[in-house]
Structures are given as structure tokens and as C-alpha cells.
Structure 1
């Protein structure tokens, strides 16, 4: 498959599970525990999907998503936002995200959403 996903999630357990599920499904995953490390990343353009948590210790996924979508280098890379505290419609509109998943989420549903965004079967 060779699809490359970047994941920003501060909760170590959730980050581990999501990374495991994605890698088990054939995706290459690079994960970040906070906004700062995500913003300092060197590989910004060869990414197939970015998954962002909304509430981070040093920022929030809405702002990260908006900046990602306003950057000509990354604007076409899809973003999925996940949160336990936000409503899907407001997140999609405010952050310009391509999709949203509410925490806690069913892992099969999560993986189905990832595959839909990436047009993988």
C-alpha cells in the first residue's frame, strides 16, 4: 500500500492504538505527541493523510488543520480531525477538515474512514 500517514495525538495510549491499527493495515505512520513536533517535521509534502487531535498540550488541531489547509505545499493533503469534545459539523467548517471522528471511536469505523479518505479498498 505504501501510504504515509502523520498522526498528532498527545494521549500515548490512543496514539499507540491508532498507530498499531494503521500499521497493521499496511500504512506507514509517523506520530507526534504535540503540535510543536508536528510543526517541526521535515516531511510535509509526501504525506497521504494527516490525523489531528483537537486538544493538544501546546496548541490545537483546529489551528493546525487551518494552517495545513492554507499552506500551498500541504493544502491538498487530506486531514481527519478527532476529538472527544467537539461537534463534527463545527470542526469540519472551522478547521476546513476533510473528515471528523468523535472519540471514543470504533476502530473498524475509524479504519473505514481512513480508507475512504485515501480511496483505498
Structure 2
């Protein structure tokens, strides 16, 4: 059974292509961030998305001239945690603030996360020395 090409299917395909461009693995598992003291941070996010399409075909004799349609999509990104890698040890550092979903808030949190990571490893070293 051949799938007929229609303006609605073209609209839905176009919407799904755009959503897949926005949501890829780099959105969920971010690019590693390396610090001068040898700590690597990898941001982990939760991605939620949805889309909808609809349309009508109002004149069977000339469907291209009478088609009406629309589509929409939304993406929400919530920071969840950071994978912290130092000296071959990997830890999960959950994000303590409520998820906000904007890149600006994540960027604001990076210095605080780095400070927390440094304190964690400093405390671990002190325990090993004692």
C-alpha cells in the first residue's frame, strides 16, 4: 500500500525533523567541561518534548489550493546532575536547585558546582591522609 503524499504529511514530517534537530544525545548528555585541576564535569539533563499537527483538505478537486494546516512543537530541558570525574573516580552530583530548564541557569550554576566538587575531593584527601 503506497503512502500518499499530502500537505499534512509533509507538515508533520517537517515538524518531526525540526524536533529531532533540537533533541539529540548532546542535549541529554552535554559536552565535557575540564577544569585546570583535572576535574571533568559532564552535564546530564532531562529532555521533554511534544508536538502536534493538524490540517484540512477543503476542495477535493483542488486540494493544494484549499489545504489549511498548522503544527507546533515544544522542548523543555531540565538539568538533573553532573558526572564528576577526577583521578579515575566517577561520582554523580545531583543538581540541588529545582529544575529550571534554561541554559542561562545552568551556566550560572557551574562555578558553584566546581566549588562543591573541589571541597568533596579535598575532604576525601584529608580522610586518606589521616
Shared fold, TM over 0.5:
no
Length-normalised TM-score, structure 2: 0.23
Length-normalised TM-score, structure 1: 0.24
- Rg larger in 1 or in 2? 2
| Structure with greater proportional strand content | 2
